[in-house]
Amino acid sequence: MDQAVTLRSIAQGDGECMERGVRTRVIAVSSGKGGVGKTNSVVNLAVAFAEMGKRVLLLDADLGLGNLDVLLGLAPRYNLGHLLRNERTMEEVMVKGPSGIMILPASSGVTELTDLSTEERLALASHLENMGAEFDLMIIDTGAGISSNVLFFNIAAQEIVVVVTPEPTSITDAYALMKVLLRKHGERTFKLLVNQVKSKKEAVEVYRKISLAAERFLSVSVDFIGCVLYDENVPKAVVRQQAVMEVYPDSRASVCYREIAKEISDLPARAGLKGGMQFFWRQILNRTV
């Protein structure tokens, strides 16, 4: 009965839960194709936010191929599946990453959040009821592409960051992702992070190509939030299974991640219906009820 009451409260957006949830900024990070450094960007941005004093939660939403834990050399005993089956608590499932960031790991074979059973919905509602008060920021590492799961996490989040590289296929696929999110779900505001560029001039050129096409043919807004310069320290950090911000804090890439985190932090969070972590989970629950 307690779980049922919790589910109805969150699904209807009632009372104190929603007030707490508004504090937490929810950002989905996506890409049109794989191999653009999306997950690496998620990890290092989280570290940059933590350095700014933010309490950060990372959600690995690539439920079939989750690899946040691998990238950071972590070996979590439990994952989202244990939480949904009510076998473990949120505290037991979450693992601590660099700079104190917390990670909610996924795993291959975990039931998709958009297809939960009644028991899993109730367990999720019970565990997540008070999470909004614990974090300033939740960053969702979605899968790549335009699958239903990727689209769902994007529309449930408060803000959408699209990671792209100068590679023509990456640019084309990033545009395709925005197009699908617009036509299927009415999303009209995106942030663009250009990764693996030789110079800021090259990044601006990539942004110009995407933004001109998006504004002309889709009538959507694309904001440039920064770029990450190519840095040989990044693959070194990946091999070491650590964030480049952690092992090479003064590298070119680390400086870029700090600049992007500050840019995002300085921008006001989107107001209105898409507000906070509690809304994010309420979207998931509404979608499955």
Does residue 218 carry a pLDDT above 50? yes
Mind listing the pLDDT tens digit for each residue in 222-241? 999 999 999 999 999 999 99
207 contacts 224 by C-beta, under 8 angstroms:
yes
Phi (first) and psi of residue 156, to 5 degrees: -80, -25
What number of other Cβ atoms are within 10 A of residue 92's Cβ?
13
Query: Domain map of the chain by residue range?
Result: 2-288
What topology is assigned to 2-288 in CATH? Rossmann fold (3.40.50)
Selection from 93-97, 117-121, 156-160, 206-210 with the highest mean pLDDT: 206-210
Cβ contacts of 29 within 8 Å, gap of 6 or more: 38, 41, 42, 45, 139, 140, 141, 142, 161, 163, 193
**Does 281 or 187 have the greater pLDDT score?**
187
Phi (first) and psi of residue 64, to 5 degrees: -90, -30
Rounded to an integer, the average pLDDT of 191-204 is: 97
Residue whose pair of structure tokens reads 């957006």 in the numeric block: 13
**Does 165 or 89 have the greater pLDDT score?**
165
Mind listing the pLDDT tens digit for each residue in 167-197? 999 999 999 999 999 999 899 999 999 999 9
Cα(277)–Cα(283) distance, integer angstroms: 10
**Does 120 or 82 have the greater pLDDT score?**
82
Query: What is the spatial order of strands in the sheet that 56-60 belongs to?
Result: 95-96, 102-104, 56-60, 137-144, 25-31, 159-164, 189-197, 221-229
Question: What's residue 279's pLDDT?
Answer: 62
Residues of the chain above pLDDT 90, percent: 54
> Residue 24's pLDDT band (boundaries 50, 70, 90)?
confident
Would the CA dihedral through 262, 265, 270, 274 be positive or negative?
positive
Cα(26)–Cα(112) distance, integer angstroms: 19
Model pTM?
A: 0.85
